Structure 1
Amino acid sequence: MSLVESDTDLISIAKEKDGLLEQSQAVGKALCRRDGHRTLLNAVYAKFLRERYDSGAYLTNWRIRRWLSSSRNPDQPFFMFVNYLEPHLEYDPPKKFRDEFLPEGMDPSYAEAVNQDAWAYICGQIEMNERDFEALSALYKAELRYLDYRIGQVYEYLTEHDLLEETMIVITGDHGENIGDHGLMDHQYCLYDTLLHVPLLIRYPEQFPAGNTCDELVELKDIYPTLLEIVKNEAIENSSHSVRGLQELMTEGGKEYIFSEYMKPQPSMNALKTRTGHLPTDIRKYDRTLHAIRDTDWKFIKGSDGSSELYNISSDPFEQCEISNEYPEKVDELTLVLDKQLGLFDNVSESPTVDMSSSTQERLEDLGYLQ
């Protein structure tokens, strides 16, 4: 949903040329292309407006408001999926939000200069200390606060069109972030709760009274049958989807177990080596598939490399003390349930291949959307 998806072509082209004449000729050729007008707009935006606004949530909200005002058929119900990318590396929140979360005594220039290259850090090419991660955490919190502000605007747009009270709103995240946690950055290579425990908020007064909270175990896939129930359809009986909506889980009790999986390392080991130029031997431990099972007290993670990790979530919520050797019976119990769950997916077909540019593939790998 972004007008500027990367450094603008116009600026990049100019930088590649040394002389003024060469720069002018290169820019002229770029503007004569069929998409030259878009290149020009991107360059103007990057030069004059990027510092004032942003290329993500601001433009996304502008498109939402425009669609609600001029494109929506008022006689038809609608489903809108909005994907904000702000809380992804690199964290670059607007200044007024950034300064709100900086630790006491930290100069803004320190946060601006902190390393945000996750792969260089993971591969040991850049060292980071506790203060660095405090700065990075502040930037991340500022991104979330800024996103909260933009989501608030969506509420205002719905109110302007008398839609708020009859619209179901679901706010969630597809993952969290590691900010030095477990020796990692970004949201790859693990199944710890730093990535799995995400917000889930629902506003729909008819079914979800305001102020109610739920401490039961639920999964994001539970949103699917919930939406179907709201529109009076029946949940699809498919083993890859939950068939219990959140209304039922909240009133009759949550799930005994919840599951997660990490199918392939992204970036792959080869891609990581290409980007960093060097791949330490210990980084190869991330070249694996991971599956996890959790109940209210225990969390078990199983790797395709034969690794296993057990945590008592009730006493060790940050998963700092691995205790699989101390509780072999619990490992066996959870392994049995996990393997039974994995059997349900044995016949799932591979995803189809899609042609894309190398830059698009690299960006999607960074975000973790390619498997």
Structure 2
Amino acid sequence: MSPDSHSDDTSEPHDLGDGDAPNIVLVVMDTARARETVPATSAITPTLASLAGSGTEFTHAYTSAPWTLPAHASLFTGQYTAAHGAHGGHTYLDADHETLPEAFQSAGYETVGVSNNCWITGEFGFDRGFDQFRKGWQYIQSEVDTGAVVRASGVSERLTSLREQLLAGNPAITLANVAYERYLCDDDGAARTTDWVDTWLTRRKTNGDDQPFFLFCNYIEPHIEYDPPREYAEQFLSSSAVEEAIQLRQDPRAFDVGDYELTDRECELLRGLYQGELAYVDAQIGRLRESLQAAGEWENTIFVVLGDHGENIGEYGFFGHQYNLHETVVHVPLVISGGAFSGGGQQESLVQLLDLVPTLLDETGISAPELLTQLQGQSFHPQSTTPPREAVYAEHVQPQPSVDSLEARFGELPDRVKAFDRSLRSVRTNQATYIRGSDGSQWLYPAASSERQNRVDQRPALVARLDTKLDDWLGTVERDHTTQTSVAMSASTEQRLADLGYL
């Protein structure tokens, strides 16, 4: 941890017995990018706009990685990918990293997590520190994942998968989960997640439970495949355009390698569906706020909403959020409501999502020595005396899926795609963006220009200065990771991740 990475605030930790320790609710709008959500507006995300109006909106918030696994690892540990080591080559958050839920659990909080993204489960090390951790796609929580059954094509394959899953666990629970996911769910988990949290909050209120809580929710709907409820899609597309849009192929990896193309109009149609997904999740976040209000918890809750990473929908020749570090995949929404963040307005200073760890510790007054020791973020709490950031950084340590995997699926790849077999790191300041590949590639975008025309050749002095800044930063955060292997995962998880475009 750098000397100034945590706040100088020396307030005493809250006594959890005095009833005033604030609840923390951390909501991830998976794959929400800044283009549609910053600044938050009532046109797409009215709940987010309302929260921003009463709280604080950070209009220059950046993730440290362009996809789910490393981005959440940074969010939970306060470390960059170079330190926590969870990425495409090592798909697991190792236990030697203290996490934010563990810190709150140790401080006496009830800790609850609900994830609708299968990267963020115990299978990959993300359930540590939670008293309860739910997989949102299951009606009854089970180690047997019914995804292979639900996604099987054809009666024969489905029956074979069902037989295997029935033998692997409790048959009644497996059948209930199959029926629930295949026939009873009308979204990707947002509604049932909110329903479950509402029931949990109601139970706490009925029982008179005044223990403070830390609640984490991942809403995955803005992720591929874009398939919002019809009424939300029609907020952004005509009825006929919705019909046209839902017929479009949504296969990010096939698009990236040139297996098929999307016209400008087709990209716009997909963006309309994507906006519908954002609007739908925003409505679920509104329901979550109502549940907290009904339970009498809202006034004592710090409510955080963010995007873990962004998305390309045709921009820069990409679909999805792999193989680049452009603004579209690293600039994300971040709104905090409650406590010291009430009435903070729009803040334009640079912040990173991993800065939330020290910031929330400052807000709650929790002492977490192990977590503080490993921190690489810095607090942006309103009472922090830490100077604002001069720069934000991002890493794409290893492509996921790998180029070898792409070649196995698609055959001979064009040179542009073979070039994806590299690591990428970036630094952004108020003056410029600089991206560097391990293959020697470089991109420079002065702040006055959009990230469209690479200016490396025109601004060599600026390139050299930012290149040195990137090296200096890397030297302070990088840690040795001798194990660079993927973690074995279940067949059902592999299928889910394939559906999301990762495998």
Q: Equivalent residues in 2 for 1:28-47 (5 A)?
A: 34-46=169-181
Higher Cα Rg, which structure: 1
C-alpha contact 1:8 1:42 (8 A) present in aligned 2? no
Q: Give the C-alpha shift of residue 211 in structure 1.
A: 5.7
How high is the TM-score relative to the length of structure 1? 0.86
Q: Kindly tell me: are residues 28 and 230 of structure 1, through their superposed partners in 2, closer, same or farther at Cα, counting changes over 3 Å?
A: closer
Q: How many Å separate the matches in 2 of 1:13 and 1:110?
A: 24
1:261-288 per-position Cα deviation (integer Å, ceiling 9, x unaligned): 1110011011222333442232011111
Instruction: Choose between structure 1 and 2: higher helix proportion.
Output: 1
Partner letter of residue 348 of structure 2? Answer: D
**Structure 2 equivalent of residue 9 of structure 1:** 149
Q: How many Å separate the matches in 2 of 1:125 and 1:14?
A: 25
Report which stretch shifted further, 232-241 or 329-338: 232-241
The 3-state SS of whatever aligns with 1:82 is strand
The 3-state SS of whatever aligns with 1:207 is helix
Q: Give the C-alpha shift of residue 82 in structure 1.
A: 0.7
Q: Give the C-alpha shift of residue 232 in structure 1.
A: 0.9
1:215-271 per-position Cα deviation (integer Å, ceiling 9, x unaligned): 11111111111110111135755465213333257x876311111111100110112
Q: Equivalent residues in 2 for 1:116-155 (5 A)?
A: 116-155=250-289
Aligned pair 1:90/2:90, yes or no?
no
1:160-181 per-position Cα deviation (integer Å, ceiling 9, x unaligned): 1110010101100110100001
Q: How many Å separate the matches in 1 of 2:168 and 2:479?
A: 47
Q: How many Å separate the matches in 2 of 1:95 and 1:135?
A: 14
Structure 1 unpaired stretches of 5+:
none
Q: Give the C-alpha shift of residue 209 in structure 1.
A: 2.2
C-alpha contact 1:261 1:291 (8 A) present in aligned 2? yes
Instruction: Choose between structure 1 and 2: higher strand proportion.
Output: 2
1:51-101 per-position Cα deviation (integer Å, ceiling 9, x unaligned): xx3241112112212222226872311111111111110111111111111
Aligned pair 1:218/2:351, yes or no?
yes
**Structure 1 equivalent of residue 68 of structure 2:** none
The 3-state SS of whatever aligns with 2:436 is strand
Could you tell me the percent identity over the aligned residues? 35
Q: Kindly tell me: are residues 299 and 33 of structure 1, through their superposed partners in 2, closer, same or farther at Cα, counting changes over 3 Å?
A: closer
**Structure 2 equivalent of residue 207 of structure 1:** 340
C-alpha contact 2:188 2:221 (8 A) present in aligned 1? no
C-alpha contact 1:56 1:84 (8 A) present in aligned 2? yes
Aligned pair 1:321/2:456, yes or no?
no
Question: Residue 62 of structure 1: which of 178, 192, 195 is its match?
Answer: 195
The 3-state SS of whatever aligns with 1:133 is helix
**Structure 1 equivalent of residue 41 of structure 2:** none
**Structure 1 equivalent of residue 478 of structure 2:** 346
C-alpha contact 2:358 2:372 (8 A) present in aligned 1? no
1:175-209 per-position Cα deviation (integer Å, ceiling 9, x unaligned): 010000100011111111101110000001x3012
**Structure 1 equivalent of residue 52 of structure 2:** none
C-alpha contact 1:216 1:255 (8 A) present in aligned 2? yes
Q: Give the C-alpha shift of residue 365 in structure 1.
A: 7.3
Q: How many Å separate the matches in 2 of 1:30 and 1:279?
A: 37
Higher RCO (CA 8 Å, separation ≥ 6 residues): 2
C-alpha contact 1:169 1:203 (8 A) present in aligned 2? yes
Question: Residue 490 of structure 2: which of 343, 357, 360 is its match?
Answer: 357
Structure 2 unpaired stretches of 5+:
1-135, 140-144
**Structure 2 equivalent of residue 228 of structure 1:** 361
The 3-state SS of whatever aligns with 2:382 is helix
Q: How many Å separate the matches in 1 of 2:319 and 2:151?
A: 30
Q: How many Å separate the matches in 2 of 1:369 and 1:122?
A: 12
**Structure 2 equivalent of residue 77 of structure 1:** 212
Q: How many Å separate the matches in 2 of 1:11 and 1:328?
A: 51
**Structure 2 equivalent of residue 165 of structure 1:** 299
C-alpha contact 1:240 1:345 (8 A) present in aligned 2? no
C-alpha contact 1:289 1:304 (8 A) present in aligned 2? yes
Question: Residue 334 of structure 1: which of 442, 448, 466 is its match?
Answer: 466
**Structure 1 equivalent of residue 94 of structure 2:** none
Q: How many Å separate the matches in 2 of 1:30 and 1:257?
A: 49
Partner letter of residue 334 of structure 1? Answer: L
The 3-state SS of whatever aligns with 1:228 is helix
Question: Residue 310 of structure 1: which of 412, 422, 444 is its match?
Answer: 444
1:111-153 per-position Cα deviation (integer Å, ceiling 9, x unaligned): 1111110111111111110111011101110000000000011
C-alpha contact 2:221 2:278 (8 A) present in aligned 1? yes
Q: Give the C-alpha shift of residue 6 in structure 1.
A: 6.7
Partner letter of residue 301 of structure 1? Answer: I
Q: How many equivalent residue pairs? A: 358
Q: How many Å separate the matches in 2 of 1:248 and 1:60?
A: 34
C-alpha contact 1:217 1:256 (8 A) present in aligned 2? yes
Q: Give the C-alpha shift of residue 348 in structure 1.
A: 4.1
Q: How many Å separate the matches in 2 of 1:17 and 1:348?
A: 44
**Structure 1 equivalent of residue 246 of structure 2:** 112
**Structure 2 equivalent of residue 255 of structure 1:** 389
